Amino acid sequence: MPETTPPPADLSRLSLAEIAQVLAERRLPPVEKWNPTHCGDSAMRIARDGTWFHEGTPIGRMAMVRLFASILRREPDGGYVLVTPGEKLDIAVEDAPFVAVEVRSEGEGRERRLAFRLNTDDVVIAGPDNALRITEAEDGPHPYLHVRRGLEALIARSVYYELAGFALDEGGDPVGLWSDGAFFPLTAAP
């Protein structure tokens, strides 16, 4: 199975046009088309901080994590599986399977575009197909970014604070941000 090639790890060196080109060239396996028989449990887990584990041990090779991430799928029942044409294995996900660890912003107001780098070095541009959402929990807001096919990234706290700073600088009401033509409030939906 081919491994996807990640973009350069430093978003600050790329324009959003260059990031969009990298995204257009990225090819992921067609996991939504694969429907093999369920084979069992993968003995894998993705922790809330985005660390991937196999049999309790962190997976240290980022190339392996990227490969597994490329065959990750969310099932209609909300569970997660690793899927190939020949097998489907459950994988435990504590919160979201990815973590957005960096944001790059270009433009202001309605012209703004936000690109997020994930812990797998994938890049996602927030917009109509990749929405931002906030849920409220006892320990504060939990911000998420839709990545693909029902998979989300938890937005790291420092990145969320950076987003809040952008929004507060713009002074909009409600507090939120535009990205790629869509508006995203930075408060939890009622």
Locate the DSSP E strands across 26-139.
38-46, 52-54, 57-58, 72-74, 80-83, 88-93, 98-106, 113-118, 123-125, 132-137
Q: How far apart are CA 60 and CA 68, in angstroms?
A: 13
Per-residue model confidence (pLDDT) at position 9: 52
**pLDDT tens, the chain, 190 aa long:** 334 444 455 556 656 566 555 555 566 788 888 889 988 999 999 999 999 999 999 999 999 999 999 999 999 999 999 999 999 999 999 999 999 999 999 999 999 999 999 999 899 999 999 999 999 989 888 999 999 999 999 999 999 999 999 999 988 888 899 999 999 998 877 6
Per-residue model confidence (pLDDT) at position 140: 85
Domains, the chain, ranges and CATH? 26-93 (3.10.540.10), 98-184 (2.30.270.10)
Length of the chain: 190
Per-residue model confidence (pLDDT) at position 62: 92
Q: Contact 148/154 with Cβ under 8 angstroms? A: no
Note the pTM of the prediction, 2 decimals: 0.84
Q: How far apart are CA 156 and CA 31, in angstroms?
A: 27
